[in-house]
Each structure stands twice: as structure tokens, then as C-alpha cells.
Structure 1
Amino acid sequence: MKITYFQDTETLYIALKPVEVSETWDPDENTLLNLDPHGNICGITIEHAKERAEVTLP
């Protein structure tokens, strides 16, 4: 697993496993789920992470 935070856009990306992304699903306007060829979640993007988590991030 690899977690990356992009401070300039307040975007948090969580890569669960290093596989090819075959589809991206957006369950809401600020969340994207990357799916592998088998339909398993392999990555999560959270827009406006600082605001949504209500925590202080660097």
C-alpha cells in the first residue's frame, strides 16, 4: 500500500496494490475508486481530503 497526499489540491491517493487500473468508479463527487480487471478496488482518490477528514494535514 502506498499513500500520497497532494497538498496543492488537497487530494489523498491510496494505492492498495500495484496493478493495472481498468475502470474508475465515482461513488460521490469527491471520491474515485480505481478497479482492477477483476473488479477489485486497487486505489482510492479522495478530493478535498483535509476538509472531509476534519484533521490537520501537512
Structure 2
Amino acid sequence: MPEVTQATLTKELRRLEGFQLIKRKVYPEVPPRVEYSLTEIGMKLLPVLKELEIWGDEYKKYIKR
């Protein structure tokens, strides 16, 4: 998503962290490094997102007709 700014990405990652869907790990390095991963409850969203992707693909085909 090249059009997303660093500020917007950080804001959204913090929101997802606030919802406890992702966890953030900060490494004490120079330069600082941060790693994000899904929480247990966040992983339960994966099947829902996959179905949404399938629906989106079908919808794109539908509107091209």
C-alpha cells in the first residue's frame, strides 16, 4: 500500500493493538526495530478475512459483466 503514510500506518497498528488483535514487540536495537504479530483472538479473524477476500473477488467479476 504505497500511498499509506508512516503516520497513518502507525495509527492503525496502534488501534489494532488497542483492540488486542495484534501484539507489538520492540527490540532494543539501534536503529529501533518493532515487530507485529496476531494475537490468539486476532488469528480467529483469518477465516473471516479469507471469506471476505473470496466475496471481493466474486464481486469484481460480477461488476465487470
The reply to whether TM is greater than 0.5 is no
Bigger RCO (CA 8 Å, 6+ sep): 1
TM-score by length of 2: 0.29
- Of Structure 1 and Structure 2, the greater strand share is in 1
TM-score by length of 1: 0.31
- Of Structure 1 and Structure 2, the greater helix share is in 2
